Amino acid sequence: MSGERLLDIKSLSVTFGGLNALHDLDFHVDKGEIVSVIGPNGAGKTTFFNMISGMVTPTSGDIVYRGDSLLGLDPNQVTARGIARTFQNVRLFANMTILENVMVAQHCRTKVGVFGSLLNTRSFRREEEEIREYGKEVLGFFGSRLVGYRLDQTASVLSYANRRRLEIARAMATKPEIILLDEPVAGMNPKETEELTGLIGKLRSEWGFTIVMIEHDMKVVRDVSDRVVVLDHGETIAQGSYETVSNDPGVIEAYLGRPIEGNAS
Amino acid sequence: MSDTAMSAPADLAPARAPLDQDWRKVVNYGLVLGLALVFISLTGMPDGLNSRVIVEPWLSMGYLSLMWLPFAIGFAVTHEQVLEGMVQHKRGARELFAGAVVGLIGGLCLSLLVYLLDTRDLSDPLVNWNQPLLDFLTRDGSVGEGVLLWVGVSTALGLFGGLMRIVPALGSRLVRAVILTVVGAAAMEALIDDLSEGVWKLEGVVEWLYHPREGLEPAGAIALAIAAAFVVLWLGRQLKKGGAVYNLAREAQPLAVNAVSVVAVAAAAILLPIFLGRLTNDLLVNVGLFVLLALGLNIVVGLAGILDLGYVAFYAVGGYSVAILTSPTSPGISPTLPFWLAIFIVVGMATLAGLFIGAPVIRMRGDYLAIVTLGFGEIIRLTVRSDWASGLTGGAQGMLSIPGPDLNIGGWTLPLVGWTMPKLEVDLMGTNPQHILYVVMFFVAIAIYVSWRLENSRIGRAWMAVREDESVAEAMGINTVTAKLQAFVVGAILASFAGAVFAAKVGSIFESSFKILVSIVILVIVIVGGMGRIAGVVAGAFVLVGILGGPNQPGLMAEFSEYKLLIYGALLVWMMLKRPEGLIPNVRRSRELHQEEFLQDAWLRGEVDRDEAGSEATTDEGWAPA
């Protein structure tokens, strides 16, 4: 399932003070792939995401997206290029409504300014209508949970699982090519996890997104990933299909010597 | 105050014995009451306000400033938070007793002050420790009379506060309405006088209500109390019915009803100033200026979440721009443009100022940003006063003879081109407060329109996202620097309108009008009114500036102006603790909450499909669509 090369990361390093958060990391994503990044806590997974999305500047190395370097771009510019993300510790706009959360995410895809809104121009109304409809479409991806009477409720009333869903919807609303999912099923119960696993597959098959996912739940990783990358202490220690990686002695050692299958069940 | 108004569910436990109290709490509240009474007495407020009569000769504002406290705290001490699963007792003698004890403790503290005032002299550190205060507290009688008076009055009022917990909801509504009406009518005497003047027969009624000197006549007070009770008992229900009809109509025909409402409000706004006297118009102009400022700051703080403590800077920019452009005596450049032409240049100046101050400030966050804006607010004022700029701004001498916003179109010559516009005089403006009020209302209408349009637009949503979480907003594709600068500039332009009208209204301008206090007052208006809500901000300006008065402007209760800041502070603390959402809470949000409750109830009764009803309050598993 490998198409053109979308994201190519070359010998990326970042140090915080004396700590090598990431060291000489090589990574790539092809169009239409689902890649999982796993590793023990503190392995540098979230830092890795922060660097792709422009929130942390790497010390050395390069991030190339569709042939252009992303280095030096602000997070909003990275998002505008087509890389959206979710956050490990769900960070919604809690006092905005659910619909507003996905409408505001389309900011970089729209352009009506202060005067357009003040004069209520035709293009303003058309654009409002478009982002409203697209927002509802994105929310509809999660069944009836986030639509209907929910649209006008503030995000703060949502349950934990629904917040995670809304985060994904918000990332989808930026009309990206790549979505970076940071622990999408953390805190969900088995039933919800199973459902979301199916939806992650649909993000690719129905919406055509390419997905990079950090996840601790090995069952999810096994079920959806084309490829698994294992990080430990800021370095890639293994890479390949789930079966290859899960039998790799280095990976087993990184996870405190315990077989990963034991973790999964 | 009606948070525990009794709806009397059937399964209440029997009332507890009067002595079954949480004594620690009762004594604490009593001592707080005592401290508050002593503190307020020593600020000199009661004695200072004694000359303001409410009901001649019974009650003055001075006594009221002390007497509301035992009542309020007697009411507060009997508050009990009832959580699910807790036993809820019937209210009864226990509440009365608690209120009375609290009042008694407070009264004893005040009596102690009376005794000490008589026997000791502490006037060295405490400037208000003097004979007039003693005379006030004893009503010119002996110390013993004073002690008896305050112990008795305070206990009775505390008891009364406790009583409010026992009477049914209607009763407490009645009491509140009566008190508010009588005090309000007395406080607004000047306003009502002003309004009724010349209106047929009404003048006579007003004369009968009020004492010739000041305050209400006893008979007038009783009449007002009866009228208030009537309103609560009968008119309240009618109004509720009318409101329901209005809401129904609005749901069915939102456009038509909204259009009618807008036209009605506009008509009232146009007609009202004609019937108001000079005093009221002037008051409303002051309120309007602060509405304008608060609406502007509301965009900056309420929507975009930028805590700007130097907002007065833009007010000053507007005022000085107009002064320089229109006044014939401005020391530097003096093009003597008409107001309405100058206002366009003012917008440009405000934009520049917004960008100039905003650009360095906007990259900071939270506390740091607040401190830096605070600095910039003062920098602008000090620059205006400095020798360097005094050639342009008049320095500490200020500028005089700024013309009013006349509607004399034409007569001026375009610089460079040399083309003179034909003169077209509509001489209805000038500096008459009535005309200035129209000008203020014009700008307030613009500000409300701008706030309303932007709030529900792409830009407004971006501002809210920045307010909620700046780094996430940036990760979601919002250029936060641009968004914040836009908010800053829009806010700056609205403030500059207020400054422009202020300069034209007063006719002169001095840097002392733009002190840091103005920024603070505007911020307090926004917070007290309700951050991010247009109606809340307008209400906040009316309450604070209209009643208490602005930083330099007198309000309805001119007597309070000395204690204005004390009251502002107390109000702010109370609001933050008890009602952080502001005077006018977000309608949208409360409606949502009701909807959720409704759906949960329906779910409990099994009427709604489980998944649709949302199971947020319980758990969320299990009902995934197959």
DSSP-derived secondary structure letter, B299: I
CB B216 within 8 A of CB B182: yes
Q: Do B612 and A144 touch (CB under 8 A)?
A: yes
Kindly report the nearest CA distance between residue B610 and chain A, in angstroms: 11
Condensed to tens digits (0 to 9), the pLDDT of residues B311-321 reads 999 999 999 99
Per-residue pLDDT at A258? 54
- B459 and chain A: CB distance < 8 Å anywhere? yes
Per-residue pLDDT at B417? 62
**How many helices, marked H, and strands, marked E, lie in chain B?**
26, 2
Across chain B, what does the average pLDDT equal?
Answer: 82
- If you compute the radius of gyration of chain B from its CA atoms, what whole number of angstroms results? 28
| Chain B residues touching A55 at Cβ < 8 A | 471, 474-475
| Buried/exposed B488-526: b ≥16 CB within 10 Å, e otherwise | bbbbbbbbbbbbbbbbbbbebbbbebbbeebbbbbbbbb
Write the residue in A112, A152, A158 that is nearest to B616 by C-beta: A158
| Buried/exposed B367-394: b ≥16 CB within 10 Å, e otherwise | eebbebbbebbbebbeebbeeebbeebb
Q: Which helix (H) or strand (E) holds B97?
A: helix B93-119
Per-residue pLDDT at B7? 45
Residues B432-459 have a mean pLDDT of: 90
Kindly report the nearest CA distance between residue B469 and chain A, in angstroms: 7
Q: Do B477 and A108 touch (CB under 8 A)?
A: yes
Kindly report the nearest CA distance between residue A79 and chain B, in angstroms: 5
Residue B608, pLDDT > 70, answer: no
Per-residue pLDDT at B418? 64
Bridge-based pairing of strands B53-55 and B59-60 is antiparallel
Per-residue pLDDT at B207? 79
- Residue B1 pLDDT grade (very low, low, confident, very high; cuts 50, 70, 90): very low
CB B143 within 8 A of CB B115: yes
Task: Report the residue of chain B nearest A152, measured CA to CA.
Answer: B592
Structure tokens at B157: 């009022």
Sheet harboring A60-65: ordered strands across?
A19-30, A5-16, A60-65, A68-69
Q: CB-based contacts of B502: which residues, under 8 Å, 6+ apart?
A: B289, B315, B318, B319, B513
Per-residue pLDDT at B598? 52
Q: Do B599 and A107 touch (CB under 8 A)?
A: no
Structure tokens at B424: 């077209």
Kindly report the nearest CA distance between residue B472 and chain A, in angstroms: 7
- B494 and chain A: CB distance < 8 Å anywhere? no
Length of chain B: 626
Write the residue in B450, B472, B612 that is nearest to A118 by C-beta: B450
Highest mean pLDDT out of B64-73, B89-98, B617-626: B64-73
Q: Do B472 and A148 touch (CB under 8 A)?
A: no
Per-residue pLDDT at A102? 94
Q: Would you put residue A230 in left (φ > 0), alpha (ψ -120 to 50) or beta?
A: beta
Q: Do B624 and A114 touch (CB under 8 A)?
A: no
Per-residue pLDDT at B249? 82
Coil vs helix vs strand at A175: coil
* Nearest one of B539, B588, B551, B531 to B300, comparing CA atoms: B531
Per-residue pLDDT at B4? 43
What ipTM did this prediction achieve?
Answer: 0.91
Q: Do B472 and A162 touch (CB under 8 A)?
A: no
Size of interface A-B (CB pairs under 8 A): 132
Q: Do B624 and A157 touch (CB under 8 A)?
A: no
Residue B211, pLDDT > 60, answer: yes
CB A86 within 8 A of CB B426: no
Residue B613, pLDDT > 80, answer: no
Q: Which residues of A, range 197-216, sit inside 8 Å of B by Cβ?
A: none
Q: Which residues of A, range 69-88, sit inside 8 Å of B by Cβ?
A: 74-76, 79-80, 84-85, 87
Region of poorest pLDDT, from A165-179, B244-258, B474-488, B502-516: B244-258
Q: Do A76 and B622 touch (CB under 8 A)?
A: no
Kindly report the nearest CA distance between residue A252 and chain B, in angstroms: 32
| Chain A residues touching B619 at Cβ < 8 A | 159
Residues B212-222 have a mean pLDDT of: 81
Per-residue pLDDT at B170? 82
Q: CB-based contacts of B606: which residues, under 8 Å, 6+ apart?
A: none
**Residue the block writes with tokens 């088995």:** A190
Per-residue pLDDT at A182? 93
As a whole number of angstroms, the distance between CA B41 and CA B126 comes to 11
Structure tokens at B604: 């409990």
Query: What are the sequence ranges of the domains in chain B?
Result: 2-242, 278-415+424-515, 586-618
Q: Do B468 and A95 touch (CB under 8 A)?
A: yes
Q: Identify the segments of chain A with pLDDT beneath 70.
A: 1-2, 256-265
| Chain A residues touching B469 at Cβ < 8 A | 91, 93
Q: Do A127 and B462 touch (CB under 8 A)?
A: no
Query: What are the sequence ranges of the domains in chain A?
Result: 5-264
- A177 and chain B: CB distance < 8 Å anywhere? no
Write the residue in A80, A112, A148 that is nearest to B458 by C-beta: A112
Q: CB-based contacts of A211: which residues, under 8 Å, 6+ apart?
A: A33, A34, A35, A178, A179, A181, A200, A203, A204, A224
- B581 and chain A: CB distance < 8 Å anywhere? no
| Chain A residues touching B486 at Cβ < 8 A | 114
Condensed to tens digits (0 to 9), the pLDDT of residues B420-437 reads 666 555 544 456 778 888
Q: Do B474 and A75 touch (CB under 8 A)?
A: yes
Residue B294, pLDDT > 90, answer: yes
Residue B369, pLDDT > 80, answer: yes
Residue B166, pLDDT > 80, answer: yes
Kindly report the nearest CA distance between residue A228 and chain B, in angstroms: 25
Q: Do B477 and A80 touch (CB under 8 A)?
A: yes
Residues B393-399 have a mean pLDDT of: 85
- % of chain B exceeding 90 in pLDDT: 33
Per-residue pLDDT at B425? 53
- A129 and chain B: CB distance < 8 Å anywhere? no
Region of poorest pLDDT, from B22-26, B250-254, B349-353: B250-254
Highest mean pLDDT out of B34-38, B118-122, B434-438, B593-597: B34-38
Q: What's this model's pTM, rounded to 2 decimal places?
A: 0.84
Tell whether domain A5-264 is in CATH 3.90.340.10: no
Per-residue pLDDT at B604? 56
Alpha-helical (H) ranges within A141-259 are: 160-173, 190-205, 218-224, 242-246, 249-254
- B473 and chain A: CB distance < 8 Å anywhere? yes
- Residue B587 pLDDT grade (very low, low, confident, very high; cuts 50, 70, 90): low
Residue B119, pLDDT > 70, answer: yes
Per-residue pLDDT at B371? 93
Structure tokens at B594: 């009701």
Condensed to tens digits (0 to 9), the pLDDT of residues B52-86 reads 788 877 788 888 888 999 999 999 888 877 776 77
Residue B443, pLDDT > 70, answer: yes
